[in-house]
Structures are given as C-alpha cells and as structure tokens.
Structure 1
C-alpha cells in the first residue's frame, strides 16, 4: 500500500480549512495549523511534508514570514510552497512567486485550480 503524501496547511479560517479538507483528504494526509508559528513548531519536530499550502494572513506569524523562514532553511527550502490569499494585487502575487513560491491562489478560488500533484516534486 502506498503512503499518502502529507500536506501542511497553514490556515486559520475554519470554512477554508473545511473546504481544503473536503477537496484533499481522499488523496493526501493533511496537517492543519492555525499560523506560521505553529507550522514552524510542527516542522521543527522533524516533520517533512511533501508540500505546504499557506494563507498570507494568519495570526502570530503570517504566511509570508513563515515562507521566508523555511526558505532560508536547508532542511525545508525544497518543499513546494503555495500561497492562498484574498489579496488580489498582482504585485503581491508576483513578489511571492519571485521569492520562490510555487503557486498563488486567490480566494475564493475554483477547486479545479487546486492541482496539488503539479507541485509535489518528491516521493515520501
């Protein structure tokens, strides 16, 4: 039996967490954290997900600071990272991608846009 890929989802909005759970739980093991600080704590325990999906606006440590922190780490820097946000500014999206994020989805997004397999680059 093949083990499911693990996706760390950093999102504090309950309806969005529910939607992502419904869309992804069949094919992936999902780990939900409310903010980047909780995500960092989970990663620091030796957990290595196949992918990270994070909102920009989370309490304690926002998604952008979370992304910058893991991007600097040799242990986590190769994990594909996708932002989801209600921010619509093109400059915001471009900055995220130029810094190394693999994708950006604006909320609300069409579930068909969430093609997780295109971002997962390694097997676990």
Structure 2
C-alpha cells in the first residue's frame, strides 16, 4: 500500500468523482481520494500530501483557479502537478488555466483513457523532478523516462493514441529568455523556482511558458519537454 501513488480528485459532481475514481483505481499503482470542494480538498491535503491533483474549475465558494493559486503559494504543495477538468473548453479558458499554473487541461466530456495517459505522464514527470532535486537529473534520464511512458501507452492505447505533439516546423525561433525558461522547465523546475533563478516575476515566467506552448504546439510541461528533446531545443 505504501508504494501506491496518491491522487486527489476535486469535483462537485458526484458522478464525475465516482466514475473517475473507479477508472483510475483500475490501475493498481494508484490510490484516489475524492473531495467535493476546495475546502474539503485542503483538509485532505494537510492530512496526506498527494502526488497529483485533478480539479474541476467551476466549483462553489473557491473555484479551481483560486484553489490552484493556494497550492502554488504553499511550498509544501507547490511541486504537485495539477490537471484541470472543466466544461469550459474554449481556447481562452485553456490559456487561462495554463497561465494559472496547471500542468494539463481537459474539457468535459473527456476520454478517460486520455486522462489516464496524462496522469501517468505527469506522475513520471514528477519523479524526474524529484530525481533532479536529488542531483540525479540530466536530459538522458528524462528521455528514458518519457520513452518508458510512451511504451506503456502504446501497449494500452495503440501507437496512434500517444501524447506526441505535431512535428515541429523547420525552424522555431526562441528568444534568449524563452530559451532559458525552456531549459529550466526541462530540468524539472516549477514556475516560482524559475522566477527565482531568472530574477523575474512568476507572472512573467507563466507568460514565457504559455508562449513556449504556443510555439511548440504542446499543451503541458511533459509534452513541452518531450518536444524539446525530440527537436534539440534544449541546451
């Protein structure tokens, strides 16, 4: 039981909580706890820190953006990957989610297999970041980890369902600051850590990450790092 990776699911819809919990717990490596609102979720967080959070955005009292802000402001919970689930699927909503600091964004109704793939990717990415903090990080390690997850996804979903971004253009022009942010993202640093490293604001880092998503056609940090590795964009 101690080896299980812990997922916290926050959603005010009972049907979503039950179905997502049941689906994800089919994976014997994961344990899913559920909360119906942000206050409940915070109590669960303080009792036992999860490895990943899945949160609805449209919730009463404290919405998903506010909940995410609380997480990112607390050093204990800052490294936790966050996946947004929401009925709001417009591009502007997705951009707002990424700028708020979420790691992935799925619009309802969503394919549970896609959610599972995203969760698995982010959990491996979190492990890579933990290795980095222990002095064991390099791009070869990240590449091996991502190849491992792609192999598992191929077995379950078939090669056509990989979370692989569209091939890059012949040339992607990055500004020096965008390049610096990309290099630090590849090292597993979170936005606040990057801001400290580059002596800038978290808001600026969020803008640079958003631009990197746009320029590379990716939707999460995991996809961005994979893209950078595939196309030699990191130093």
Deviation at 1:59, TM superposition (A): 2.2
Q: Which structure has greater helix proportion?
A: 2
Give CA deviations for 1:58-106 in whole Å, capped at 9, x if unaligned.
2232111110101111110100000000002211111111222110000
Which 4+ stretches in 1 moved above 6 angstroms?
A: none
Question: Which residue pairs with 1:61 in the alignment?
Answer: 62
Question: Which of 1 and 2 has greater Rg?
Answer: 2
Q: Which residue of 2 aligns with 1:84?
A: 85
| Aligned mates of 2:12, 2:100 — CA distance in 1 | 23
Tell me, yes or no, if the aligned pair for 2:68 and 2:100 is still in contact at 8 Å. Answer: no
Larger strand share, 1 or 2: 1
Greater relative CO, 1 or 2 (CA 8 Å, sep 6+): 1
Superposed, which structure 2 residues align to 1:92-107 within 5 Å? 92-107=93-108
Paired position in structure 1 for 2:37: 35
Taking a change above 3 Å as real, the CA distance of residues 2 and 26 of structure 1, as seen in their structure-2 partners, is farther
Q: Is the 8 A contact 1:34 1:59 kept in 2?
A: no
Match of 1:25 in 2: 25
Gaps of 5+ in 2: 131-235
In structure 2, C-alpha distance between the alignment counterparts of 1:62 and 1:41, rounded to whole Å: 16
Structure 1: gaps (5+ residues): none
SS in 2 for 1:67: helix
* TM-score (ref. length: structure 2): 0.49
| 1:57, distance to aligned residue in structure 2 (A) | 1.3
User: Shift in Å at residue 6 of structure 1?
Assistant: 0.5
CA apart distance, 1:2: 6.4
